[in-house]
Amino acid sequence: MEKNSKEIQKKLTTVKYNCADSSHLSVNQEICAKCKEKTCTFICPADVYIQDENTGQLVVQYENCLECGACKIACPKKNIEWRYPSAGCGVVFKNS
């Protein structure tokens, strides 16, 4: 089943976030370049990881992160340095 990025974007419009000053997610692009699975690009419920069609580089749209932690565990190369956003920042669920 193809990932429906459009639908995810639509859902994300219902999510509130507080300040997103700097990225709490980082990857080593050299390791990603050699990664065949690209698990992060389909596993993330917020579609945070996108492979740039032109450069082949991984773009990390950390602002959309729902802080579930799935990418960090699912990445077969353990290549995601996953921290929490700064204190008070990041996702704010009000109805969940």
Partner 1 sequence: MNIEYNADVIVVGGGPAGISAALEVARAGRKVVLLERSHYAGSKNMYGGAVYTHALKEVFQEDFDKISYERVINSHTWAFLSEDSSFELTYKNSSNNHAYAIKRFNLEKQLIELVKSKGVYFCPDTLVVDLVTNENRVIGVKTSIEEYLAPVVILADGVNSLLARKIGLRQDFKRHDFILSAKEVYKFDKKTIETKFNLKEDLSNGINKQYFGSDFGKLKGYKNLFMMSFLYTFKDSVALGVGVNLEDLSKNKLNISDVLDEVKKHPHIAPLIENGEMIEYSAHLIPEGGYKKVPALYSDGVIVAGDAAGFVNGVHFEGTNFALISGKLAGKAALHALEKEDFSASTLSVYRKYLENSFILKDLYSYRNIINNLYKRSNSLSVYYPNKIKEFFEIITSANCTSKSSQIRKFAYNFIFGRNPLDTIKDMFAFLKCALDVFFGK
List residues near ligand SF4 by CB under 6 A.
25, 27, 31-32, 35, 37-40, 44-46, 48-49, 58, 65-71, 75, 77, 79-80
Give me the amino acid identity at 64: N
On whether the CB atoms of residues 74 and 83 are closer than 8 A, the answer is: no
Nearer to ligand SF4, 2 or 30 (CB): 30
Give the residues across from 17 on adjacent strands.
91
Kindly tell me which of 11 and 59 has the beta carbon lying closer to partner 1.
Answer: 11
Q: With beta carbons less than 8 A apart as the criterion, state whether 68 and 24 touch.
A: no
**Rule CB under 8 A: is residue 68 a binding residue for partner 1?**
yes
